[in-house]
Structure 1
């Protein structure tokens, strides 16, 4: 495949989604390849239905392993429907979350094992890892304070989890970043939105200079 696959990771409140909306047009100006933005869980019709089940607040009794399997199922469908076709067409695929999220949230946060969750997802993605992952680093206290301020009571099922859950997610992310230094690059998300976008853009351009050389 000739396209480029970039994923974006981070704890709740890291500002990924906001940054990606600002980043996408900046990237598009720098390349002749079409830039596609998607998200997980979701990104395709079937995956969006699974997303609704996972995040609905009334599903409080969902088993942790059920949750992990649903994420993997949504990811598989997203891969088949969106990611692989995009890459085959030589486009740039940006995904708001991918495998690392499940390892951190379900493996670490839900305490069902990072290795076990990684294995479930390896089955789902068949080795199709991102070419680059940008990790938005922010501590749980700051991230959750942002969510409470911005969402005004509209927090989803995972965002409402206990603080200890979010601490485990953060710690798991740190291990994932440490174990994958070539693929994962870190951005300090506790900066102004403009600076975060600039830092992310710099990372991407540095990794793929030929693709994003236009418009410099």
Structure 2
């Protein structure tokens, strides 16, 4: 349950603010059953200043569903996770990878930026995720579950600490020699090619809640 809580807390909230609150939350409610039994007032009070308090209520509703449908154990498959209230595509994939070490396609803003630069050759991905982006990410994830989970963590960390949006540290990047954007002179463009390899709008997909 810890990964579910952390991923929901991290939505639109910096890690520095989430970490102490997450530790307190998990100490108080270490299992889905414990959280499901909590009162609305206690949950909102524990959420404190993280913002968007509906997230706290969704977490409790999710915990109730885990207890009712899965005997109090967080399910291990994306399909089962997506059926839980408040769990979207990204969160389900993250839980599979980081809680269970399984193979999933974890694509957040940082990963999208890394793939746009290194593989496609553009400075930034478009505002809305496109089907072509997710297909590309899926092709790059290793087949081995352990390697896939490591890939997810590494690509997210690379985007968060090195391949940043405003001040990328290209000399420190472990894949700088393979980065199409850097090899092209780091052009300030943000348009991804369409399915035929041409610049264009392309199809869009909804990322879903979480």
Q: Same fold (TM over 0.5)?
A: no
TM-score by length of 2: 0.30
TM-score by length of 1: 0.30
Q: By percentage of residues, which structure has more strand?
A: 1
Larger RCO of the pair (alpha carbons < 8 Å, separation 6+):
1
